[in-house]
Amino acid sequence: MLGTARRTRKRIGLGRIVLDGGLLILSFLMLVPFLWIIATSLRLPKDSFSLPPAIFPTAWHISNYAEVFAKVPFVDFISNSLKICVIIVIGHIFISSMAAFAFSRIAFPGRNVLFLIFLSGLMIPGQVTIIPQFIMMSKLGLIDSHLALILPGLINPFGIFMIRQTMMSISFSFDEAAYMDGASRLWVFLKIILPMSFPAVVVTSVISFIAHWNDFFRPLIFLNSFEKMTLPIGMTALTGAFGTGNLSAILAGVTLSLIVPLLFYIFGQKYLLDGMTAGGLKV
């Protein structure tokens, strides 16, 4: 039996080595495009399409990054995107968490039906609603304004669903004990349920931030002034007329644009798995 146990442990160890090696290879393959982007941003433009393509730069031309700031108001694009994304995330979490609390902890007539109506919004593509949104923003005089991007982004059925699922998994004994001590419903929401739902809040914050940071379609429709443009649409200026811009400078801009969402993701990554699994699929 001792020999059998040793052979079993050996097979498990060998299988673990093969699995870890396969995952490392797969991870490297997934990183190759990002390595190529960074490497190309440091090359001369004439070396961008060399064959075979080089993953690592042979020369370091930091001037490509300086060209980004010289050709476009890159800092303004960053600040516009940050302003819009931060306001949307704060407002979205404020609204979604309160709606999730109502759907999960308050028994009112038609609660489940109303929740299903909210969920049906997940099946409607954003492109379908862009025309009524444009007409509404036009009547409100918000075209070429950041509010035209902020207001529709405040409500997201996915965020309500995510936070509600986590709140449903929290025992109602916490609420009952607090109510017996004389706590108000608002106090229970702010001091007990919302802190316990923090992983789901972080998940929805990260998803919402990255989605609006990378959004190209809606800013293209609602914004006209160059100084009000967000980063994705403002970056098109680097391509130049007929797409003849410096590819190295373009990819330098792309590399810089990755820094903010990467930092945001690093901050919330430890909560992502917890938030995705904490609520399960309880309805």
* Mean pLDDT confidence for 205-234: 89
User: Contact at 8 Å (CB) between 164 and 96?
Assistant: no
Whether the predicted pLDDT of 207 surpasses 90: no
Q: Tell me the CATH number at 236.
A: 1.10.3720.10
Count of domains forming the chain: 2
The domain in which residue 234 lies consists of: 64-278
Task: Indicate whether 147 and 238 sit together in one domain.
Answer: yes
User: What b/e string do you get for 200-228 counting C-beta neighbours within 10 Å, with b at 16 or more?
Assistant: bbbbbbbbbbbbbbebeebbebbbeeeeb
Task: Indicate whether 122 and 230 sit together in one domain.
Answer: yes
Confidence of residue 90 (pLDDT cuts 50, 70, 90): very high
Task: Indicate whether 23 and 127 sit together in one domain.
Answer: no
Give the span between the Cα atoms of 168 and 16, in whole angstroms. Answer: 37
Q: In this predicted model, which residue has the larger pLDDT, 31 or 212?
A: 212
pLDDT at residue 36, as a whole number? 82
Task: Indicate whether 45 and 159 sit together in one domain.
Answer: no
- Tell me the CA distances in angstroms from 156 to 20, 40, 89, 277, one per residue in order: 38, 37, 10, 20
User: Contact at 8 Å (CB) between 61 and 40?
Assistant: no
Task: Indicate whether 44 and 122 sit together in one domain.
Answer: no
Whether the predicted pLDDT of 158 surpasses 60: yes
Task: Answer with the one of 63, 80, 104 that is the final residue of a domain.
Answer: 63
232-266 pLDDT per residue, tens = 888 887 776 545 567 788 888 888 888 888 887 77
Counting beta carbons within 10 angstroms of the beta carbon of residue 161, is it exposed (0 to 12), middle (13 to 18) or buried (19 or more)?
buried
Rounded mean pLDDT of the chain?
Answer: 82
Task: Indicate whether 182 and 129 sit together in one domain.
Answer: yes
Task: Indicate whether 25 and 131 sit together in one domain.
Answer: no
Output the CA angle 256-261-263, nearest 5 degrees. 90
Task: Indicate whether 54 and 72 sit together in one domain.
Answer: no
What's the pTM value of the predicted model, to 2 decimals?
A: 0.81
* Mean pLDDT confidence for 141-151: 91
Task: Indicate whether 207 and 271 sit together in one domain.
Answer: yes
Side-chain-facing half-sphere of 130: CA atoms under 13 Å: 10
283 lies in some domain: no
pLDDT at residue 279, as a whole number? 46
